Structure 1
Amino acid sequence: MSLFTLEEARSELRNLLPTLHRIVALRADAAELAHAVGHGEPSGLGGLPEWKAAQAELDDLLTRVQQTGAELKGFAPLLVDFPSDLDGAPVLLCWLEGDTELSWYHRLDLGFAGRRRLA
C-alpha cells in the first residue's frame, strides 16, 4: 500500500472530483432505473439496457478511483480514503460526499467514528 502526503492526496482528489461527481449522479440514475425495471414501471431514463449500461459505467468509474491508490469505503454516501501518515501514525485522509476539499482524517484503529478535522 502506497502512502499519500497530504498535498498528493489533495491533488489526487482534485483530479478525481469530476469522476466522483459522475458516480454520484450515475448512482441516482441507476437506482431509479433499477426500481423501474424491478417494478415494471416506465422511466424517462430508459429500461433494462440503460440500467445495465449504468452499472457497467459505475464499475468502470469505481475501478478508476481505486487505481489511484485511494480506497473506496462507501457508496451511498460516497466515501474515499487516502492512506497516509500523520505525525508518525498511520491514518486515512478522508473525503465524504458533500465535502468541498480533503480536510478530515481518522486513525486506522478508530475508523470513521474517529474522524477529525485536519489542523
Structure 2
Amino acid sequence: MDTAEREFTVTEARALIPEVKEHAAEIVRLRADLAELTLDLRTRGASERGGIPEVKAAEARLDEEIAWFTDQGIEVKGLAPFLIDFPAVLDGRSVRLCWLEGDPELAWYHRTDLGLAGRRPLT
C-alpha cells in the first residue's frame, strides 16, 4: 500500500504513539539545536555548538526524522510546535487523527477539510 494514501484506525494510530514520541523528542531537540546554532552564527559568527558543518548535519538528521513519519503514512503539519496527522475515516467522514507536541496520547481529531481549528476530542 502506498503510505501517502494510508488510512489509520484509531487503534493503529495509538499503537504508534510510543515511537511517535521518541521521534518527536529528537525533532524537538534538533529544532532547538538548529535554532541556537544558526542564531549564534548569524549574530556572533561563532557558536559553542559548532559551525556550518554542524548546521548541515543537524538539518540532515532532521530530514531523516521527518522521513520516518512520512514513511509511516503520517502527515507532518508543523515543526514548531511539532504537529502530525494520521489520515483516517470516522463515521464515514475523512478526518485526521492529530497529535501535537506535548500531548500525552492520541486523543484528538479534526475533519480533513477543517484542519486544526476544528480539533475535537476522540470519544
Q: TM-score range by the shorter chain?
A: over 0.9
Identity percentage of aligned residues: 50
Deviation, structure 1 residue 16: 2.1
- Aligned residue among 26, 43, 46 for 2:47: 43
Matched, 1:20 2:17: no
Q: Which residue of 2 aligns with 1:52?
A: 56
Q: Which residue of 1 aligns with 2:84?
A: 80
Cα offsets for 1:57-91 (capped at 9, x unmatched): 00111111110000000111000000011111110
Which blocks of at least 5 consecutive residues in structure 1 are unaligned?
none
Q: Which residue of 2 aligns with 1:62?
A: 66
Deviation, structure 1 residue 13: 2.1
Deviation, structure 1 residue 105: 0.2
Which consecutive segments of 4 or more residues in structure 1 shift more than 4 A?
Answer: none
- Kindly provide the amino acid, as one letter, of the partner of residue 24 in structure 1: V
Cα offsets for 1:25-74 (capped at 9, x unmatched): 11000011111122234322122211111111001111111100000001
State how far apart, in whole Å, the 2-side matches of 1:44 and 1:13 are. 34
Say whether the 8 Å CA contact 1:36–1:47 is kept in structure 2: no
Which blocks of at least 5 consecutive residues in structure 2 are unaligned?
none
Cα offsets for 1:73-118 (capped at 9, x unmatched): 0111000000011111110000001101100000011111000011
Q: Which residue of 2 aligns with 1:11?
A: 15
Q: Which residue of 2 aligns with 1:29?
A: 33
State how far apart, in whole Å, the 1-side matches of 2:65 and 2:93 are. 30
State how far apart, in whole Å, the 2-side matches of 1:17 and 1:118 are. 19
Q: Is the partner of 1:4 in helix, strand or coil?
A: coil
Say whether the 8 Å CA contact 1:80–1:94 is kept in structure 2: yes
Q: CA RMSD in A?
A: 1.1
State how far apart, in whole Å, the 1-side matches of 2:19 and 2:32 are. 22
State how far apart, in whole Å, the 2-side matches of 1:16 and 1:112 are. 19
